[in-house]
Amino acid sequence: MSIEASAFFGTKTDNLEARFIQAFADLGFDVQLHPGHTLTESCATGCLYLNVIRTPPHFLRLEPELPLLIVFGYDVHKRKKKEARDMHWPPRGVKSYSYEAGSRTAAGRSDAAGAMQIVSMAILAKETGGYFYIDGENTACTGDLALQQANRELEHFDRRYFDADVHRFESWPPLANISSFRWPQTIEPPKAPTPAPAVQKRRIMFRYKFSWFHVPGIVLLTYFLVVTLLYS
């Protein structure tokens, strides 16, 4: 299923791109943002692009030396001074905010894309002093708490390949006219070993099943055989 996560920025939006990258560095990543994109503006493609150059050393990787292209839907707008609220939005727990950013990954995404989406939105909430909300929850939470919880999305990558089904990074996609971009190949996950064919048991033509009812017949047959041998 798709993941939809929102970040409601606080007032600390200065130098946000550098702080965003540093927050990832604190988690053990080396990432780059698209050089033409700022985090307080939406681009024409409606996406946020990350070049993941390095991952934490304990992560499982199929191609550990290669950079990765992570993409997820991203849209942001500045809050109007008298923007109306209704009963359902913004969600409970959100107080004052300066920008609202929404993100989405579709069903069938790679594990890495979903994890980086959630961590990215949690970082934006934390770095700006704002709030984080994921679709389906009852309330939003602070950015500090969101980042603590988002780190759990990264825990299973010591048992699962982070770069499985992820595009290799070769060049930045354009921020407009994405249809002209030639996407690089994804990294194929290892295939599960094919189970060995079952060995068919050899059928036995005749089977004898012992029964105590057969004992008298066996004794009588043995007697006649002995007598025959003695008097022959």
The contacts of residue 9 (CB under 8 Å, 6+ apart) are 40, 97, 98, 99, 100, 101, 124, 125, 128, 130
Q: Is the pLDDT of residue 142 over 60?
A: yes
Return contacts of 141-150, CB within 8 angstroms, 24+ apart: 141/93, 143/7, 143/10, 146/121, 146/122, 147/23, 147/119, 147/122, 147/123, 149/122, 150/118, 150/119, 150/121, 150/122, 150/123
Would the pLDDT of 192 be above 90? no
pLDDT number for residue 207: 56
Q: Which of 162, 146, 160, 159 is nearest to 55 (CA)?
A: 162
Lowest average pLDDT, out of 55-64, 92-101, 205-214, goes to: 205-214
- Mind listing the pLDDT tens digit for each residue in 152-167? 889 999 999 999 999 9
Tell me the pLDDT of the chain averaged across its residues. 86
- Report residue 108's pLDDT band, with 50, 70 and 90 as the boundaries: confident
Lowest-pLDDT range, 12-26, 44-58, 110-124, 201-215?
Answer: 201-215
pLDDT of 224 > 80? The answer is: no
More confident residue, 206 or 229: 229
Residue 9 has pLDDT above 60, yes or no: yes
Predicted TM-score (pTM) above 0.85: no
pLDDT tens per residue, range 193-219: 555 566 565 555 545 565 656 666 666
